[in-house]
Amino acid sequence: MIGSLLYLTASRPDILFSVCLCARFQACPKESHLHVVKRIFKYLAYTSSLGLWYPKNSTFDLHTFSDADFGGCKVDRKSTSGTCQFLGNMLISWFSKKQNSVALSTTEVEYIVAGSCCAQVIWMKQQLLDYGIIFEKVPIKCDNTSAICLGKNPVHHSRTKHIDIRYHFIKDHIERNDVELVFVPTKDQIADIFTKPLDEQSFSRFRMELGLCEID
């Protein structure tokens, strides 16, 4: 059941967080996990006409959203990363993943996921370069001002020394004008749908902003 749902997330990003959360328990599932998976199937049954819409008149600017849920996992207190990338209004890439280690601050988790998002953007820029399309200062929209300041500040403070050096490569790409960290209010952070459970109103709004709509 989990395998089928994971296959479906390639066209239904709205279920990605729920499916990935259930997948963490598939090695030793309980009856409660089975009930949750059945609820996902029930949701899909009621929304079977939803699909990603790619309008031909959309603009062609590359922009991304990056977010994390600090200590969201109740089992090991690890955080969940979520990002999505758009060409204009068209969703082209998305992921939701539990981070490898326990973070000590919201700044750390947001900075880590921004680094992962940056790596995805650099790969996309390289692919689009083959078609003669060049982007500079691709905005990575983040709702954590401390993470944004950390990306722009060349000085390493004592409170950030514990962050693994491999995540600091985002600073190099900011200095090269490949990407830029841009603040976005939490209420407009679309990547929230990939990191945590949401109320029905927020979920429906973010689902629509991802480009999921009724397809006849």
Q: Say yes or no: 74 and 169 in one domain.
A: yes
Note whether 104 and 149 are same-domain residues. yes
**Helix, strand, or coil (residue 181):** strand
Considering the domain boundaries, does residue 55 fall inside one? no
CATH code of the domain in which 154 resides:
3.30.420.10
The total number of structural domains that make up the chain: 2
- Amino acid making up residue 113: V
The CA distance from 71 to 112, in Å, is 13
Domain extent for 155: 62-190
Q: What is the mean pLDDT of residues 135-157?
A: 81
- For residues 185 and 102, state if they share a domain: yes
Structural domain includes residue 214: no
User: Which residue shows structure tokens 């939803």?
Assistant: 50
Taking only the tens place, the pLDDT of each residue in 12-64 is 999 999 999 888 888 888 888 899 999 999 999 999 899 998 888 888 899 99
Same domain? For 81 and 181 the reply is yes
Q: What's the predicted TM-score (pTM) here?
A: 0.87
Of 170 and 90, the structure prediction assigns the larger pLDDT to 90
pLDDT for residue 155 is more than 70? no
